[in-house]
Amino acid sequence: MQKPQLPATLPAIEDEETLYSWCASVHALASGTNSGDTSHALFGNGHSSRQHDIPRGLRALQGHLSCFSDNCIELLRIHTVAACYLPFMAPSDLELLATEISAGVKPHWRRRLLSASRSLPIKHPLRFCSACCAEDTAAAGRPFWHTRHQFPATWVCTRHSEALWIFSGHPRRWLLPSPGQKGSARLSDLNTDVAATAAAVGQAISKLRIINTDALRSCTLNRLRDIGVIHSLGGARHDRLASWFCNSAMGRMCAADTSGTSALADGNWVPAHLWRKKRDHPARWIALWSALQWRSADEACSALMEACSDAAPTDKGQYLLFEPQEHPTRAPDHVYAAFEICESYEAVMAHLHVSRGDVVRWLESDPELRRIWKQGIHSRRLHVTEHRLRKSMIDWLASKPNLEGFLESNEADLHWLARNAPSAHQALVGNLRRRGAVARTLF
């Protein structure tokens, strides 16, 4: 059987189209059905159809895409998932990466670009939006894989607010997206708001040229402190941080994404990512930043842009002249509301579904919450004590016993009243003594 030849006129690569999608379109136009033959014609090897995220034979592919013949980094940035990875690389590393791709002598540049490691095997399953497929077919005459859908932790289409279809298998041939494609399914445990935030954060990262990870890490710690997850910027209990992420909506979606970010679900990587300053992985930053309880995706992206800049403002919006000092952290508004209506630790724990340690941490880190809590306890105890003493006084006046017996039977309440509300105690006891002096026996 004759090997297929490339079409005389190759299709134009669309905006946001992945290189894998363009190659699949070329394969569909070529004669024959063997993906390996098309791979040989395009890349010079038969395995490129398996590398749908970033093809290793990029140098050979540049010859077919004349607009990127001299700039392999821009080709990666616009038409592959590398757009999420390149901002985390130093300029010197980018130059070395471009040299290695152009020379074609070192095959491991792809692994270094994707921050691949045994401890964090992040995959990039093929994803597509059925609404985008319909629009692309009407506009370009064919559906294609969108780059923004392939970023880590992306489960919804930000353009149509529609859950993405995820191809769970590992492709071994050139495929184009089609609704109802065999082997594709949507994420089961999907929180639409958090998923939209994660997708928007991934796209925001892809538009950046370089990211100041130290500033991003500092802003992340400030945000964790503001939402009450940690108490100090210097450190925190690792199991508490891991439990927070694992129980968050983002953590549950990572656990459900068995073909992509499931390695992040347990949250055990969060402490090391924040304080040990290991190698930065975009999937970690997208997952962590999206879990920080933002009110909207726009707020998350706006805060991310400020955090990734060279001089990120503090949580108060001001640039610092000196090193920041530790200061008390205000508990979230829903915590204040719970402390206002609850009368005990157990009631707060049941209302917020938190541990006793969380309640103690909020009270220790927020002096204003502690003052309001103590004031509320004092007011409620004073009200209950005065009500109980007044009822006891009515019974005492009706039975006319001696004053000493009344004082002895209510000793605990009177002692608390004398210590915590002296004026109320003095008025009550003085009134009792006057009534006792008037209500003496006649016979």
Contact between 195 and 253 (Cβ < 8 Å): yes
Contact between 38 and 74 (Cβ < 8 Å): no
Spatial separation of the C-alpha atoms in residues 436 and 270, rounded to whole Å: 69
Q: Find, among 115, 85, 67, the residue nearest to 209 by Cα.
A: 85
Angle at 136 between CA 130 and CA 140, to 5 degrees: 160
Spatial separation of the C-alpha atoms in residues 289 and 198, rounded to whole Å: 8
| pLDDT for position 443 | 38
Spatial separation of the C-alpha atoms in residues 134 and 129, rounded to whole Å: 9
Encoded tokens for 35: 């993906």
Contact between 368 and 327 (Cβ < 8 Å): no
Helical packing angle, 422-438 and 367-399, nearest 10°: 0
Contact between 149 and 128 (Cβ < 8 Å): yes
Tell me the C-alpha to C-alpha distance, in Å, between residue 260 and each of 111, 170, 368, 395.
Answer: 17, 11, 43, 72
Per-residue confidence of the chain (443 residues) as pLDDT tens digits?
455 567 777 888 888 899 888 888 888 887 666 777 777 777 766 666 567 788 877 777 777 776 666 678 888 888 889 899 999 888 888 888 888 887 766 667 777 787 766 666 677 888 999 999 999 999 988 999 999 999 988 999 999 989 998 887 667 778 888 877 766 778 777 888 999 999 999 999 999 988 888 888 889 998 998 888 887 777 678 888 999 999 999 999 998 887 678 888 898 889 888 887 666 688 899 999 999 999 999 999 999 998 887 554 454 555 554 555 555 567 888 888 888 888 888 888 888 888 887 888 888 878 888 888 888 887 887 888 777 877 777 776 666 656 666 677 777 777 777 777 777 777 777 766 665 544 444 33
Q: Where are the domains of the chain?
A: 11-114, 195-307, 333-365, 373-438
* CA 381 to the chain's CA centroid: 41
